[in-house]
Amino acid sequence: MDDLTPDDVRYVVIDFEGTTPPGRPPAPIEVAALVLNPAGDSATSEASFEELIRPPDDAPVTPFDTMLKGITSADVQTARPPADVFTALDIWLPNSRCLLVAHHASVEAGMIYRHREHCPALSTTPFLDTVRMAKAVLPGVGSYNLDQLLLQLRIPRPINRHRAMPDVRATAQLFRRLWGLGVSQGHWKTGKDALKIAGLTPQASRPQQTSLF
């Protein structure tokens, strides 16, 4: 496996689980993140963050949410509200240059943007989307959803799929595999290269963000 950080960028894999309220965007009820170890084949991490989030009253945990994710209303009743969790996540984010990684990253990017006042660093950090990476290195695959890509690349489907940390760990393994394929196929060697193909620019990007790359 090629070194993930030849340009000293850290890769932070992140996933939110949310409610499914009709007529409004999903509200986060759980978040997990891993800072990837820069070298090696395993999806080991240098640091991790994991926390449940109490949703607003108008976006409660529904029976469908519980069926899909295994998170109940009781689980989040005593959790911290989004403002506190996003602030803590922003403080936890590595001080060094980093890129966020997510599967179908527009979902995560949207949740972060809607809480940008509480996470100025997080909300201005670019994303790499593993869906876009997969389309570049695995053209013609019938579906690019997470389960199908895990199956395609023989990565074990995690127990407790649709919980934030299991999905983060699976996405981290997927990212490493896609990264290696992209390097071997000549698509990218650095984070800057990968951003051109699979990047998602944050809506709240600060002017000085462009100086990072």
Domain boundaries, position 55:
10-204
> How many Cβ atoms are within 10 Å of 157's Cβ, its own excluded?
11
Classify residue 79: in a domain, yes or no.
yes
Classify residue 213: in a domain, yes or no.
no
Classify residue 129: in a domain, yes or no.
yes
Overall number of domains in the chain: 1
Mean pLDDT per 10-residue section of the chain, whose length is 213 residues: 67 95 91 82 71 95 94 97 98 89 96 96 96 97 95 95 96 95 95 95 67 50
Classify residue 100: in a domain, yes or no.
yes
Classify residue 93: in a domain, yes or no.
yes
How far is Cα 171 from Cα 14, in angstroms, rounded to an integer? 9
Classify residue 15: in a domain, yes or no.
yes
Q: Domain containing 164 — which CATH number?
A: 3.30.420.10
pTM for this one? 0.90
Classify residue 134: in a domain, yes or no.
yes
